[in-house]
Amino acid sequence: MPESNKKWIAFGDVHQSLRFIDLLPDLEEADGVIITGDLTNHSPEGAIEKVWDSVYRRNQNILAQLGNMDRSNVTEFLKEKGANLHCEVRELADGIKTMGVGCSINTPFRTPSEISEDEMAQYLEETHHQLGDYDQLLLVVHDAPFNTKLDVIANGMHVGSKAVRCFIEKHQPDIVLCGHIHESSGVDSLGKSRIFNPGMASGGGYVLVSIENGKLDATLKQI
């Protein structure tokens, strides 16, 4: 692969499913790993360390962020490892950047890391402000955008974040990775933005994010 071409393996909603990580193809050959959130289930003692070790032994370049099912100790751990993406930005290649916002909007289940729509909007805009100039953008969010194919629960209701949707419509990131809604894996678009939800990790879904000849792209894959 030419030096200017890169690929990342992206997934989320791990919920401590170490078997999924073991089964992921080509993880060692990837330039890095992106995890969109929910690495654990309420972050019991030792859980984030076990998930981290399972990924790290196969690929040492990891970017990850907390989901609504993770406690703040997950962010602290990821910061110590230099791997936190929540409310941070990174440059993936010349002119191509990524930014992340984890957590989710409020749910009926009172999970550890829920925030209001206003807080979600604030996190997104403040993190976007850190980007400076860029040519292409990969947005990594845990919550799915509202009223898309990617935020529908079993009863047919759309339960995603309106703030995430508004941000995508306003800033038009080239590729968006999301999760949170396990039953709505798939691909959708808002304007020029292509949005990917690989679903719950134990279901075998992941996204191959690539840069080829300077162009950012992504493909939904299945183990």
Tens of pLDDT along 189-212? Answer: 999 999 999 999 999 999 999 999
Average pLDDT over all residues of the chain: 98
**Residue 167 resides in a domain:** yes
Spacing of C-alpha 176 from chain mean position: 8
Between CA 202 and CA 211, with CA 206 as vertex, the angle to 5 degrees is 165
Mean pLDDT of 16-34: 97
What pLDDT, on the 0 to 100 scale, is given for residue 122?
99
Q: Do residues 132 and 151 lie in contact, with contact meaning Cβ atoms separated by under 8 Å? A: no
Q: Do residues 34 and 209 lie in contact, with contact meaning Cβ atoms separated by under 8 Å? A: yes
**Residue 91 resides in a domain:** yes
**Residue 127 resides in a domain:** yes
**Residue 69 resides in a domain:** yes
How many structural domains compose the chain?
1
Enter the pTM of the model: 0.97
By residue range, what is the domain housing residue 124? Answer: 6-222
- Domain containing 17 — which CATH number? 3.60.21.10
Encode pLDDT of 112-127 as tens digits: 999 999 999 999 999 9
Nearest of 137, 210, 216, 221 to residue 185 by alpha carbon: 221
Q: What are phi and psi of 129, to 5 degrees?
A: -65, -30
Q: Do residues 84 and 64 lie in contact, with contact meaning Cβ atoms separated by under 8 Å? A: yes
**Residue 1 resides in a domain:** no
Q: Do residues 184 and 197 lie in contact, with contact meaning Cβ atoms separated by under 8 Å? A: yes
